[in-house]
Structure formats: structure tokens, C-alpha cells
Amino acid sequence: MAGTEMENAGMFWDLSAYQTEGAWDKDGKGLSIWDVFTHRKGKVVRNETGDSACDGYYKLLKELKVNHYLLSISWPRIMPTAEQLNEKGIQFYNDTINSLLENNITPIVSLYHWDLPQVLQEKYGGWQNISMINYFNDYANLCFEKFGDRVKHWITFSNPWAVAEKGYETGEHAPGLRLGGCGAYKAAHHIIKTHAKVWHSYNNTWRREQRGMVGISLTSGWGEPVDPHSQTDRDAAERYIQFHLGWFANPIYRGDYPEVMKNYVGNAQQGLGTSRLPTFSVQEKTYIKGTSDFLGIGHFTTRYVLQKNFPFLQVSSYHTDRDLAELVDPNWPAPGPKWLYSVPWGFRRLLNFVKTQYGNPLIYVTENGVSETVQCPQLCDEWRIQYLKGYINEILKALNDGVNVKGYTAWSLLDKFEWNKGFSERFGLYHIDFKNKNKPRYPKASVDYYKKIISANGFPNPREVMSAAKFDLFFFLFL
């Protein structure tokens, strides 16, 4: 097969509003749940916040010759009370979108990367309440109205798994609630129904005129059975994926929660009459199924999985419901935090799982990257280059398998605020000196490597990677 050239290749960066915009209390912006959460002592490493911005990135995007850019809109910046409009916030995003287009960069917009208006958390309990569906739909329609003439790719939710599990089960993320056993399932249920309503709103009101697409971005690891010959391990690995990716993807592509979730959450009831996993009505199943024009996939790492039975009397939780244990191979490279091991082959298997389970949908890889917890000497992040090389090569193989991947996003352009980890984990291709008030940025070695991928429309040295056929792939980057 011929080389590793990428036909019509483009690069995508992705921006999460809270992580990069700053100006948390300026120009009429309302409070988000993350503004409140990060100002509580002890919630974030070193009590750091995302109050200040990582601005001035257009020049970097142009230098890298990026032609697609994935950004998120801050709901409370344009609707500070979730009802009134903030014209300055709308102007901010109009200026951002127009600046991108003037620089020949196509905007792709996520409506929700975790910054819920604080007023909705206080009044309704956030995603625990069904009222969020109509509030979010009004917000989405406002965005379609104001920006849809120029934005043709919309993502409803970015990584809703983290919103539900970390926000309402473990409390590691905003709003910091620990509603073990029920909170995550309830939040996810409302998010899925909200996504479907927004898709239908666009389909019925805006699609004919604007001719855009609406999808969702789901982040998941891959689970590999410890013993591939063991049925119990294979079943445990299946649960790992279904409780993570399938939780959201199965209703959208197949009309209901995975059977294994319904069985295991139901069986964990300890005598209760109803399942802690909410149910969809027949009408809701029909309404939700098929509500995605593309699927965003975020992926960072892999785990080995085996069966583990938890004590019957143990307090129920999302994690014990799965009846599994996660292991890692000590030989897997782990240059940064303990959770992120470089296991490229897991990516190909995850992509093929999506192809098989969900009818080979159009896929954009919306998050993929590796961090460091200490500054790399002389900004030489050779391990990040190896990570990118390995994971992109597995996408190449997946394309040869017939997986319908059209875009790839490297996380991330700049070092930035990483949620409850603050600035302690650095995913950026550019190093930021956060101790300097001007926040100067310096390119790491991976910047030059990524530039070469763009200019070569493929790997700079095809002999370094698995031979593959030509393919059509846009490259994004997450800011």
C-alpha cells in the first residue's frame, strides 16, 4: 500500500471556554458552576482557578497552518441568568468566529464543555433536574440563531461522562456533589434527552437554511480482557466499554441503554423495587435514536479488565455496579500522571468497536494527547512525539479497517487549566510560564513534529510507521 499521505488533511484545535477564556466576571458574564467550584478551598490542586485567560492564540494557529478550530461557548457568558441575553458575550463569540474565518480557519463549536450557569445549579440542582432540557434547548437555539450562518459543525456536549460521573457521583468536578449510586445516572439521563431535543430543534428549524451538522463528543478508554480466553474477563471488558461509551452512545445510536447496564444496575438494587438506572419510554427511545450527524470520540489510554465481585452489602455506586477491576501493564509508558499510559493499540480497537456497534458513523476524534506533571528539560517532549505517532498510526490502521474517521484532535495547543488538577498537568505543545503575569509561551519539540505532519500531509518519515493507504483526514488541535 502507498505511504501514509493524508489527502486534504487539515488540523483542528479545540478550546474549552472555562479553561482558556478567563475574564470570569467581566462584560456581563454570569457565574458558572466552575467559577464557584474553583473558588472553594481544597477543590483544585494548589487552589488554582481558571480566572485568567490564555489569549493571543490566533498567531499560533496561523503558524501551524491549522484550518479547523474547535471551540466551546460559555453558556453563562451569553446568558448570565440562563434567561437574559448578554450582548457583549454574543459579540465576543461573533468576533472570535469572524476572526477565525478571516484567517481561513473553520470554526467547530461545542455548546457545552462543563460550565453550567451557577443560577441553574442553585435553583434546580443542575443536571439532576429535568428543567435543564428546555433551558439548554433555548440556549442552543440562541447559538444557532446568532452563529449558525457561519458555524456548520455543532457539538452538543463534550465528554458528558465526566459531567455526570465526576460532577454528581464522586464530586471531583463542579458542582462537586456526591450522590453515589443515583446522581450520575440521573444527570446522564437528562443530558441524553437534552442532546436529542437540541438535535431535533436544529433539524426542524435550522438545518434547511444553515445546512450544518449536530453531534456529540464522548470520551472513553478501551478495556481489554486480562485473559482473552476467559469469558468472564471478556464480559468484564465489555461492561467497561458499555458503562463508559455505551452509556451515552447506545441510546443515541440504538435507542436505549446497553442491556448490560440495565441488568447490572438493576441487579445491584439490594431488594429495591426499581432500578437506579432511569428508563426511557417507547416514545423517548424513538425520539432519541438517530440524533447524531457525527460522533466525536475522545480517547487517552487503555486498561486491562477482569471480573471483580463487590460485597453485596457495599454501598452502591457507578463503579461497583460494573463488577470489574482495572489493571495496567507496568511496561506501558507513563510519562505524566498515573492514569495516562500510552497504549496506542487500544485506540484502533475502540474505533472498530464504534464501527461495529453503531453502524460505522462519521467520526471526529475530538480529544487525544498526553501530559507531563513536571517541565520537560529543554522543552524536549520526545515521549509526546512518540505518543502522537503511535496513536495517529492506529487511526491509520482503523481507516484501513473501514472505520469512517474524518478528523483528529490533539489535546492540546497550550498548557492550560486542567480542571481539578489546576495547572499541575500540562498537555500543551506550547509551554506556558504561569508564574509570569504575561504568561509567555514556548514551543516544545512536539510543535515542530506536528508542523511536519501538516506540511507533509502525513508522517514526515513514512518508514517510521505502519504502511497504509491514502486517506481523507482533517487534523484538529485542542487549545
Quick one: which H or E segment has residue 222? strand 222-225
3-state SS, residue 430 = strand
Looking at residue 397, its pLDDT comes to 94
Question: What's the CA gap between 471 and 5, in Å, rounded?
Answer: 7
Name the E strands within 319-440: 324-327, 363-367, 405-411, 430-432
Average pLDDT over residues 14-31: 58
Using DSSP, state whether 286 is helix, strand or coil: helix
**Which ranges constitute the DSSP H helices of 69-181?**
75-78, 87-102, 118-124, 132-147, 160-168
Q: Is the pLDDT of residue 6 over 90?
A: no
Render pLDDT for 341-366 as a digit per residue (tens, 0 to 9): 999 999 999 999 999 999 999 999 99
Who contacts 17 (Cβ-Cβ below 8 Å, separation ≥6)?
71, 72, 73, 74, 77, 113, 115
Could you count the other beta carbons within 10 Å of the beta carbon of residue 178?
A: 11
- Give the confidence band of 420 by pLDDT, cuts at 50, 70, 90: low
Task: Give residue 65's pLDDT band: very low, low, confident or very high (50, 70, 90).
Answer: confident
By CB atoms closer than 10 A (0-12, 13-18, 19+), residue 417 is buried
pLDDT, one tens digit per residue, over 317-346 is 999 999 999 999 999 988 777 778 999 999
DSSP string for residues in 322-333: T-EEEE--TTS-
Task: Find residue 411's DSSP bridge partners.
Answer: 478
**In terms of Cα–Cα distance, which of 164, 161, 300, 133 is closest to 218?**
161
User: What are the distances in angstroms from CA 234 to CA 29, 201, 341, 418?
Assistant: 49, 40, 21, 33
What does the pLDDT look like over 367-417, one tens digit per residue?
998 877 666 666 878 888 899 899 999 998 999 999 999 988 887 777 665
Confidence grade of residue 7 (pLDDT, cut at 50, 70, 90): very low
The reported pLDDT for the residue numbered 104 is 86
CA distance 284 to 281: 5
Distance CA(348)–CA(360), nearest Å, equals 14
What pLDDT score does 111 carry? 97
Three-state secondary structure call for residue 51:
coil
- Looking at every residue in the chain, the average pLDDT score rounds to 84
Helices vs. strands in the chain: H and E counts, helices first: 18, 14
Identify the pLDDT of residue 344: 97
Percent of the chain that is helix, strand, coil (3-state, to 5): 40, 20, 40
* 296 SS3 class: strand
What grid cell was written down for 448? 515542530
DSSP 8-state class, residue 277: S
Cα separation, 196 vs 186, whole angstroms: 16
| Nearest by Cα to 92 from 29, 14, 18, 45 | 29
- For residue 171 the three cell numbers come to 464530586
Helix (H) or strand (E) run with residue 157 in it:
strand 153-158
Q: How far is CA 273 from the centre of its chain?
A: 35
- pLDDT (tens digit per residue) in 137-167: 999 999 999 999 999 999 999 999 999 999 9
Question: CB of 245 within 8 A of CB of 218?
Answer: yes
Cα separations in angstroms, 13 against 53, 100, 293, 479: 17, 12, 20, 5
Residues carrying an active site annotation: 367
State the amino acid at position 401 in one-letter form.
Answer: D
Question: 232-257: per-residue pLDDT in tens?
Answer: 999 999 999 999 999 999 999 999 99
Mean pLDDT confidence for 77-83 = 93
Instruction: Output the pLDDT for position 11.
Output: 44
3-state secondary structure 432-473: ECCCCCCCCEEECHHHHHHHHHHHCCECCCHHHCCCCCCEEE
* Higher local confidence (pLDDT), 450 or 454: 450
Cell of 456: 507533509
Q: Look up residue 281 and give its three cell numbers.
A: 419510554
| Whole-number Å distance between alpha carbons of 322 and 39 | 34
Confidence of residue 2 (pLDDT cuts 50, 70, 90): very low
pLDDT band at residue 58 under the 50/70/90 scheme: low
Q: Which amino acid, 265?
A: V
